Amino acid sequence: MERVQEIASSGSQDLPSEFIRPENEQPRFTTFKGDHLDIPVIDFSDPDWKNLVQPVFDASGQWGIFQIVNHEIPNDVIENLQRVGRQFFELAHEEKEVYAKDLESKSVEGYGSQLSTKGNNKDMKKGWVDHLFNKIWPPLSIDYRFWPRNPPEYRAAVEEYAKHLHEVVNKLLKCLSLGVGLEAEELRAAIGGEETVYNMKINYYPPCPRPELALGVPAHSDMCAITILVPNQVQGLQVFKDDFWHDVRYIPNALIIHIGDQIEILSNGKYKAVLHRSTVNKDSTRMSWPVFIEPPPNLEIGPYQKLISDQNPPKYKTKKFSDYAYCKLNKIPQ
């Protein structure tokens, strides 16, 4: 299978038709032409994390996206994560293909260009992106067959990042839980507790000859509970607000937080999953490192019972996360 990186490296100035989005999705028509969007920024350095509850609640309910600074993940840990990711995508095509995802498996793990199990449909519009998926937490969920052995530091860098990320995730979930009136640990338990899965995706968006016609990843909300994302410095994340797509202004060393579908469902709509997409660049390679915080596959997720009443009936179905994910990836109504 030809990867996007190979198409880009051919030097052709023509964009293959399968990457040209419909006009109502093309960035040239749909991107807001003014300043970049300043999404909420939350300083995570307050030693009393309970002071963070209201800012997290407001940002999660009104925006579904925010950035956190002073999160205590050392800069060098993030830089190492980014370095080994870049080095993997700089390998020869044959070396990367060793880690290609199993097309017969329901798992998304491994190296590839498509997410949907129906991705071989020739009429399907493609995103201008290659990716690598690795489960990085908990240890029992990790399949090291899909972890690159080159660069040699890949495993150490990713495991160090996962260790630090664990603290951020727990703090965020405490704030989200208290924000809707639950005990601090209830939402964390509701998405799986110690069995909650951290699924890392490295997105690689090579230079695109016609970026105004293409998208890296089309409009979507994340099907997980929350996403914690590190970008490189090449602009590309957009959020839908007030009928337009807006570029999100990056803050150096910040983590970008997306509220995902499962937290919206558990909160019965008090928190909103953010609608977002990725654009691409004519001259520069964009990369991002989202980690999707997911329930284990067989865990059933629905509106949290304590948040349901006669005045606030359930707005969402209860179903296994694996079933939800299958429907979402294959565009089947939930």
| Rounded Cα gap, residues 322 and 23, in angstroms | 33
Long-range contacts of 43-47 (CB under 8 A, 24+ apart): 43/68, 43/69, 43/70, 44/68, 44/69, 44/70, 44/71, 44/72, 44/168, 44/171, 45/69, 45/70, 45/72
Among the listed residues 71, 101, 126, 201, the single catalytic one is 201
Query: In the β-sheet with 237-241, what is the strand arrangement from edge to edge?
Result: 217-220, 276-278, 237-241, 244-247
Whether residue 310 lies in the annotated active site: no
Contact 295, 196 (CB under 8 A): yes
Contact 65, 37 (CB under 8 A): no
Neighbours of 6 (CB within 10 A): 13
Among the listed residues 126, 171, 174, 276, the single catalytic one is 276
Among the listed residues 130, 222, 247, 261, the single catalytic one is 222
Query: In the β-sheet with 226-231, what is the strand arrangement from edge to edge?
Result: 41-43, 65-69, 255-259, 226-231, 286-294, 197-205, 130-137, 110-112
Element containing residue 173 per DSSP (H, E): helix 154-179
Whether residue 201 lies in the annotated active site: yes
Q: Nearest 5°: phi and psi at 231? A: -100, 165
Among the listed residues 220, 319, 320, 328, the single catalytic one is 220
CA-closest candidate to residue 265, choices 316, 324, 192: 316
CA angle, residues 224, 204, 62, in degrees to nearest 5: 40
Whether residue 258 lies in the annotated active site: no
Residue 97: strand, helix, or coil: helix
CA angle, residues 201, 39, 267, in degrees to nearest 5: 70
Residues carrying an active site annotation: 201, 220, 222, 276
